[in-house]
Structure 1
Amino acid sequence: MDLQYKLLLYLDKRRVLTAMANSCESFLDECLDKGTNKFPPLRHLLEIDVMDLFNVFPELGDFLIQEPLQFQHICNKILFACINSIDSENKNNVQLMQVATNLRLKCVPQFLSNEKQPYYGGIMLKKGLLLDISKPNSYVFHTVWSCPEACEGNEVILQFIPKTPPKCYVCRSVLFENSGLRRCGEKVTATFISNDEFLPRKYFIVDDLISKLNVGNMYNLYVVVLKNNKSVWSVEESVILPAPITYPIPEDIEQLFETCEGVPWKFIYCLASTIGVRVCPLHCFMHVKISLLLSLVSVKANLLLGSSIINILVTGHETKYVLEIMSAATKFTNRSVYLGPHTSVQLSMIGGSGGICILPLSLYRSNQKQLSFILKTLETNKINIENSEIQLKCAVWALSNESKKIPFNNLSSVFDIVCRDCGQDYDDIAEFLLKNSLERQKKSKNEVTAINNLMAYINLIAGVHVSLDKSAENLLKSYFLSARRESSKVATIGSIGAFVTVSLTSARLCRRSVATIDDALFAIWLHVCGSPQPRFAPEEYLQTPPSIHELEQNMTKFKDWLEQFTGINFT
């Protein structure tokens, strides 16, 4: 059977022909006034379920994927035939070039699209993050060209604007465009960036597809290559679904969790040591590594659940190794963007959506305009673009030295975790660097397995819904009020939100649906460690030692101090 007949049967079976006929009847009813409404366009929105099409007529589905323009041409002729089948005088004034079907594809199997083909080969799949949308402007549905000699019935309709005017078929005169009969639609220029391509690409998005676009979201674009440009037929938002709670976790991590007896700071301490193993020794910069791990999980959870994101500020005189650790930690996320002093802050934060935006230089080296925009964005959790706002969907990792430009309490009010005094363990780091310079260490199989397991574990637990139990809530409230009485500069208004976010993320890392008092204790300890001196708690309780046994002793002493500070008994 011919493909045209198969397509006609398929459209009739799915009752699409009835919808086409209804559109044609409405179109002909609007064509009553021939003088003012001459040659109006008819655009019928035709949605094709590609999986269903393959199920009914496999060869027709393959024809759509490989030859989409011919498939659309057949649909246009079917739509024009629907007009001619209607008993109306107005149909005699309608030409084939006035009607067209806008094909919108859904349920397209990705393995069937020509995603990696470097040249035109049917429908191609393009994936990208939407960076920017231009203001709407018009594009041509069709143009009408008339003969200057007024030859009868010699008006030509073209679905484009030709480079040279056509000629009359009768007198061979050069036709002129009747601009009053030009029909236009609406389009925008959308800029997308993909992980597979270095430079962003721009596509024209038209009519009904414009409403689907939101800056900062990931999209699948089904593109058909024309002679001079690319036509986007369908736009689908790429949505990642959370893994079920019953999905098995890596065996090594499960054994580690049992060894740590489910205690959050023990378990997270061991997991964080996997980050940056080739940058510094395992036990160095553990406070920074723990903070980075919590931030990575919060970004994934925001992508799946819309929960809050943990932003990090690292202060100190030695930030070189911290930046390298941050760069190593970006392997566990979908994307990362580095914000330089001459880079657009808006595009960088939008481009980092679903990932990390890193400030490689000190925060105070940014100009005043950049710095104020960064702080405002973190405080409001919104990115201002022209006359609108979009949600911030990336975590900001910043470095800073002490400066008198902005008081430290202002920074601690917008960053959820502050890591101080990062210049430490110089002897161990020097020995580590000397060893690597003398003998290049090869990446072992165990190291690769540990990184892959941690990456898989973060993806699995990011979709866990977590709530705060009453005991944890009471502890956070009591500490916040007690700290505010001591110093309102240390415990800012934004701190209470950071306490809750860190507590929930700690429970999520332990794969629990309820954040307990241990998670709240861990969040408070991280906050006190990042507070400016003089601190509330004794300094020896706030160190991140190289041994987990020493950390347990410090946490036990810190718990005793916190009981006295807040008046809450942990037992």
Structure 2
Amino acid sequence: MSDPFSLKESVLVYLDRSGCLEKLSEDCKQYNDPQQDEAVYRFCLSINPSDIIEVDPELGDFVLHDPLKATKLFQSVCFLAIKTLSLLEKIHTESQVNVILKYTHLPPFPEYTLDLCTFPRGNGLLKPVIVEGLVIAMTRVTKYTQGARFLCINEDCTCSTGYYHIRVHVPGATESATVRNDFSCKICNSQLKEDMKLRALGDKQLVELVPYKALNLLRGNQQPSLRYQSVTLFLRDELCNSMEIGHSYKVLGIPAHVHQWPHITWSIEANNIQSWEPESKISGTFQELLNTTVCSPWRFCAIAAHCFGLHISPPGLYNTLKLCLLLSLVQTTSDLKEMFHGLDILVCTNDSLILDRYINTKVNFNFYFIQLQNM
């Protein structure tokens, strides 16, 4: 293992090459307001794991497999940079620098992709992973404690003033892990009390994510005996309100075991969020039909409507209804705001049985995203 000084040197080299050092300088300017006094100063740094591996493979291993240790290294280097360059005079101790590492992506290997259909097992280090799924529920935005300052009640102790005892939120920690009344001084072992005037608050939101395969249960066909379980995502600060119910997302996050005695809850702290669309698979025969009838704007539609639901009614009947049901499935835009507004259909009939069967057949097709442009 390399010595800490060598690792910190590699961190500084990466910060300089990636432009994070310049961003750190810009972020310090917003805290230079003389009327603004805080105990903890938060800095978000976007990091590319691949670039870090090129600078120092060992540092890259920490970034990919031990995020807490990597954050500690970046925190130490950022503090030294701030003090050396005199970027922010309000910072007196390293603990006041709260560094958040935002991963741009992860290596495209299976071990960094988490399948929500397979519950993770093991008690090893919780490394960043990518999860894909559908949002089914979310809470309103609430507050949580980003960081707090504690003072020693022993007036003769050096920690009775200053910024020696700072606690900040880490992935997987509960509110009581950041703010409690039973912390003790690391020098004289006296009780610590919080300086309530300098508590830093942030936004928090909880989101329930399920695997996209869970939608197969809505098809109405006989399904295998599988159990789909959702996972709770913690969105914090700038990530709040970045997801919507019913939309699919690819989330880069850090799994964590939240200890709430006597229970242990498994959740994921979101680190980066991207919109995601499941891959649509069109059969070769269907694609060949589309290529053959591309010369006419209506021939493909007529053949598709004619073949739709042949097991329900004889060919040639309900063609208008079948065409409307098929049109309600087609999406011709990639705009996420418009993808969830389908075609509304009003049907008046005396034979509700046939209509019900056609609608059930149409529901089975809802899980295939057929992109038909310029029909």
Q: TM-score, normalised by structure 1?
A: 0.49
Matches within 5 A, 1:409-428: none
Given the superposition, is the C-alpha separation of residues 89 and 322 from structure 1 closer, same or farther in structure 2, using an over 3 Å criterion? closer
Structure 2: distance between partners of 1:54 and 1:172: 41
Name the residue aligned to 1:18. 22
Structure 2: distance between partners of 1:311 and 1:104: 42
Q: CA shift at 1:241, angstroms?
A: 11
Given the superposition, is the C-alpha separation of residues 21 and 269 from structure 1 closer, same or farther in structure 2, using an over 3 Å criterion? closer
Q: Which of 158, 171, 177 pairs up with 2:167?
A: 158
Structure 1: distance between partners of 2:65 and 2:100: 18
| Structure 2: segments with no counterpart, 5+ residues | 170-175, 215-227, 259-266
Q: Which of 235, 243, 246 pairs up with 2:273?
A: 235
The question of whether the paired residues in 2 share the 8 Å contact of 1:219 and 1:236 is answered with yes
Matched, 1:291 2:324: yes
Structure 2: distance between partners of 1:22 and 1:187: 25
Report the AA paired with residue 15 of structure 1: G
Count of residues in Structure 1 that have an aligned counterpart in Structure 2: 326
Name the residue aligned to 1:143. 148
Given the superposition, is the C-alpha separation of residues 10 and 168 from structure 1 closer, same or farther in structure 2, using an over 3 Å criterion? closer
Name the residue aligned to 2:255. 225
Report the AA paired with residue 204 of structure 1: F
The question of whether the paired residues in 1 share the 8 Å contact of 2:113 and 2:131 is answered with no
Name the residue aligned to 1:325. 358
The question of whether the paired residues in 2 share the 8 Å contact of 1:48 and 1:104 is answered with yes
SS of residue paired to 1:225: strand
Given the superposition, is the C-alpha separation of residues 263 and 303 from structure 1 closer, same or farther in structure 2, using an over 3 Å criterion? closer
Matches within 5 A, 1:33-432: 37=37, 39-50=38-49, 52-53=51-52, 60-61=59-60, 63-87=62-86, 90=89, 94-108=92-106, 110-111=108-109, 113-116=112-115, 118-119=119-120, 121-131=126-136, 133-154=138-159, 156-160=165-169, 161-162=176-177, 165-197=182-214, 198=228, 200-210=230-240, 212-228=242-258, 229-238=267-276, 250-255=287-292, 257=293, 262=296, 264=298, 266-277=299-310, 285-297=318-330, 300-304=331-335, 306=338, 309-334=342-367
User: What whole-Å deviation, never above 9, does each CA across 1:175-195 have from its counterpart, x for those lacking one?
Assistant: 222322211112223344441
Report the AA paired with residue 10 of structure 2: K
Q: CA shift at 1:293, angstroms?
A: 1.0
The question of whether the paired residues in 2 share the 8 Å contact of 1:139 and 1:185 is answered with yes
Report the AA paired with residue 301 of structure 1: T
Q: CA shift at 1:56, angstroms?
A: 6.0
Q: CA shift at 1:8, angstroms?
A: 2.7
Q: TM-score, normalised by structure 2?
A: 0.71
The question of whether the paired residues in 1 share the 8 Å contact of 2:157 and 2:188 is answered with no
Identity, % of aligned positions = 20
Report the AA paired with residue 81 of structure 2: C
SS of residue paired to 1:226: strand
SS of residue paired to 1:165: coil
Name the residue aligned to 2:219. none
| Structure 1: segments with no counterpart, 5+ residues | 243-247, 335-454, 467-507, 509-571
Matches within 5 A, 1:464-503: 464=373, 466=374
Structure 2: distance between partners of 1:52 and 1:223: 19
The question of whether the paired residues in 2 share the 8 Å contact of 1:302 and 1:309 is answered with no
RCO (CA 8 Å, sep 6+): is it higher in 1 or 2?
2
The question of whether the paired residues in 2 share the 8 Å contact of 1:97 and 1:157 is answered with yes
Structure 1: distance between partners of 2:357 and 2:8: 60
Q: CA shift at 1:311, angstroms?
A: 1.5
Larger radius of gyration: 1
Q: CA shift at 1:231, angstroms?
A: 1.4
Instruction: Please give the root-mean-square deviation of Cα atoms over the aligned residues, in Å.
Output: 3.8
Q: CA shift at 1:285, angstroms?
A: 4.1
SS of residue paired to 2:347: strand
Structure 2: distance between partners of 1:51 and 1:283: 59
Structure 1: distance between partners of 2:12 and 2:313: 66
